[in-house]
Structure 1
Amino acid sequence: MSQPSQRLTALDYARAWAIFGMIIVNYKLAMQAENADPAWLRAIAGLFEGRASALFVVLAGIGVSLMTAKARRSMDKDIIRRNRKSLYRRSVFLLTAGMLLLLMDWNADILHDYAVFMLVAAVLMTVSDKLLLGLTVVSLLLSQIWLIVFDYSKGWDANFHAYTDFWTMNGFIRNLLWNGFHPIFPWVCFFLIGMWIGRKRWLEKENQRKILIYSLSGTVVLEMLSYSLITWTSPILDPESAAYLFATKPMPPTVLYVLSAGCSALTILSTCHYVIHKFENSRLNQAIIHTGQLSLSHYIGHIIIGLGFLEAINYLENGKLSFAIAYGCAYFIIAIVFSHVWRKWMKRGPVEWILRRFC
């Protein structure tokens, strides 16, 4: 297989694992599984928090860069106009899908945020690499200023599970831009980083080992820095304030979180490229690749079907982390089998087919 084709296959492979991580995190959230299981199990589940979805957004940025590469290289006005029109349509589609999920009381939806990312891509698809990086830095700094100046908890209930004024104009904009589950500031940074990476040769075969070492080292260093800063500043501030400023959890999304999650996304990406290069023809890996190709269908399906089934049998808010992880793993296995069978007969997933027809 040619290297460009192999690179695209590796991105599909990474999307599947991003979906898996999002399933675990979302099922943990939906089942309100917080403190009912051993610490080691909570630690394992915590590894996925804010990492899987960050990888998913980085992959979206890479995908948009690859999709618009011809327009960017040629600067042909007709091609640029067609690409922008396609991105606008994708934005409308994703916004509609996301709003439907929100109306179903799925507060952690990411699709309506993706709709904004598509608009960002339409505007920035032809700008220079330096401007992309500059906007990333500005967005990150702006989000951190907001964390210090404004009340991050505004709109949330005591447990950060429900956004009390989400369906008001002020509440919706505040949640979307600043203090939602995936606020545009700073989550647009992941998307812009993905757009930038998609223009580079970082993930080519000759660079994979180097990127893996650098990104893994960066993740470890940033996690150690976070721990040290929280430890050193806790006597001066209080532990809660120190964690608010220096933790690497997605809520609130600090500078250290964005940098650490970005490094971990690159670590997973380079690992996926290595695995595909070595073991692409494995039947299991082929099935996982097919799962990534149906990622949008599986994102919507794991909410409507997976959580819908638990709600139908009145077992949704059971509070058991062990069950949330087991159920998430079972759902992902079923998704792999479904994807492998579906792709034998159909080129695209159900939702992907609708998106393609719309865009």
Structure 2
Amino acid sequence: MSSKRITGFDLARALSIFGMIIVNFKISMVADTGGPEWLSAFAGLFEGRASAVFVVLAGIGFSIMTRKARQGDAKELRKSRLLVWKRSIYLLILGFLLLLFGWSADILHYYALFLFLASLLIRASGKVILSIAAILLAASQLFLLKFDYTMGWNSSFHMYTDFWTIEGFMRNLWFNGFHPALPWFCFFLVGMWLGRINLTDKSARKKWLVASLITFIGVEVISFAALKIGGFYLGEEVAIYLFQTKPMPPNILYMVSATSTAIAFILLSVYVTETSFARRFVSALIQTGQMALTHYVLHVTVGLGLLEVFGILENGSLPFAVLYSAAYFVVAILFSYLWRLKFNGGPFESIMRKL
């Protein structure tokens, strides 16, 4: 795939940020209930899906960024790895600052680990990358069966009690955090593999879009049946743990379902940006997607910070959480448009490139 920017990825990135804003604002406001069922169902659509799209896109971007290193000599490979390691450190620092700010659901420190691990696989073949993803996914499922997934969490599953200990941090990072490397690194690996496919080829896009939609439907049907049958024989709690397609715990059905929806969503976004009619309406969203790192940081520090200042962070209803998320995203789009009139990249993206 050419290194020329594919704006469909930026559109998908912007919409995934919107989904993450809804999920994160809802969690932070403890607003899981209190609204109509259709609104609860709408907000629930983004749980573990928006962030999965975000990580798959990160893998795609990594493959495009390291294309020259795959094709060049050893010097080019070392140069690319050094760049990736610098970005990993930058994201790790940003992630820890957000954690110190009080944002326990940070994804950036996980993302820093994913980048570092991926730097060791720059020249691995697509088959090797998918094989590693399959092995890691299988290992993560064994861990879910062998170890206590609730360890470290409080009763509401909103606070990790021993995060700032070495044991707790490593457990959270690899096993049972919000985005644990086992199995969330698999999303990144799938993105790396997808980024090596020529997605400007419409026939290839169509093939993978159809395959991902069929896989998604098949997995959801299997999950529904397994929950019914498993609930009868194993008990409802065990069946939910093993067979639901929600992100916590990240069982194999969730991982396959979320990967399928992420691929389908990204490919559909590419289709949208290729139509001249739609491109007129999504240009501002594309600019927002190009500033995804900035908006991720700001939605925590500014979006949630304002609620904290006014003392309503943990007292919101579901309708308020969704409405506030939508209003905040509109402001983010406007900010992106105005910022890009004068600057080429977002503030945090520009700082990263300068460093």
CA distance in 2, matches of 1:69, 1:116: 20
Match of 2:51 among 50, 53, 56: 53
1:73 CA drift (Å): 1.6
- Tell me if 1:142 matches 2:139: yes
Name the aligned partner's letter for residue 221 of structure 2: M
How many residues align structurally? Answer: 355
* Pick aligned residue for 1:32 from 11, 30, 36: 30
Deviation at 1:337, TM superposition (A): 1.1
How far is the alpha carbon of 1:205 from its aligned partner?
2.5
Q: Is the contact made by 2:69 and 2:80 (CA closer than 8 Å) also made in structure 1?
A: yes
SS of residue matched to 1:115: helix
Match of 2:263 among 254, 261, 266: 266
Residue 80 of structure 2 corresponds to 83
- Decide whether the 8 Å contact of 2:6 with 2:270 is kept in 1: no
Deviation at 1:319, TM superposition (A): 3.7
- State the 1:209 CA deviation: 2.8
- Mean alpha-carbon deviation: is it higher for 101-110 or for 215-224? 215-224
- Listed one character per residue, the Cα deviations across residues 21-43 of structure 1 (whole Å, up to 9, x for unaligned) are 10011001100011211222111
Report whether the alignment pairs 1:73 with 2:71: yes
Q: What is the Cα-based RMSD across aligned positions, in Å?
A: 1.4
Give the percent of matched residue pairs that are identical in Structure 1 and Structure 2.
Answer: 49
Q: Quote how far apart the aligned CAs of 1:86 are.
A: 0.4
Q: Is the 8 A contact 2:212 2:264 kept in 1?
A: yes
1:202 touches 1:208 (CA, 8 Å); kept in 2? yes
The farther-off stretch of 259-268 and 35-44 is 35-44
C-alpha contact 2:272 2:278 (8 A) present in aligned 1? no
1:279 deviation in Å? 3.3
- 1:112 correspondence with 2:100: no
| 2:329 aligned partner | 332
* Structure 1 residue 213: Cα displacement: 2.2
Alignment match, 2:318: 321
2:225 maps to what in 1? Answer: 228
Of 6, 11, 23, the match for 1:8: 6
| Structure 1 residue 130 corresponds to structure 2 residue 127 | yes
Aligned residue number for residue 346 of structure 1: 343
Alpha-carbon offset, residue 5 of structure 1: 7.1
Which residues of 2 match residues 212-291 of structure 1 at below 5 A?
A: 212-279=209-276, 282-291=279-288
Which stretches in structure 1 are left out of the alignment for 5+ residues? none
Structure 1 residue 280: Cα displacement:
6.9
Instruction: Give the CA deviation at 1:4.
Output: 4.3
Could you list the runs of 4 or more consecutive aligned residues of structure 1 that deviate by over 4 angstroms after TM superposition? 3-7
Give 1:200-211 correspondences, 5 Å limit: 200-202=197-199, 204-211=201-208
Per the alignment, in what secondary structure is the counterpart of residue 127 of structure 2? helix
Q: Does 1:102 align with 2:95?
A: no
Query: Which residue is 1:163 aligned to?
Result: 160
Once the two structures are TM-superposed, the CA of residue 217 in structure 1 deviates from its matched residue by 1.9
TM-score normalised by structure 1 residue count = 0.96
Q: Map Cα deviations across residues 163-197 of structure 1 (whole Å, 9 max, x no partner).
A: 01011110000000000000000000000000011
In the alignment, structure 1 residue 42 sits paired with structure 2 residue 50: no
Instruction: Tell me the secondary structure at the aligned position of residue 261 of structure 1.
Output: helix
Aligned equivalents of 1:97, 1:346: Cα separation in 2? 21
Q: Give the secondary-structure state (helix, strand or coil) at the position aligned to 1:234.
A: helix
- The separation in 2 between residues aligned to 1:82 and 1:227, in whole angstroms, is 48
Task: Name the CA shift for 1:340/1:49 in 2 (closer, same or farther; >3 Å).
Answer: same
Worse-matched range after superposition: 206-215 or 139-148: 206-215
Hey, what's the Cα distance between the residues in 1 that align with 2:36 and 2:24? Answer: 19
Secondary structure, counterpart of 2:324 in structure 1: helix
What letter corresponds to residue 69 of structure 2 in structure 1? A
From 186, 192, 201, the equivalent of 1:195 is 192
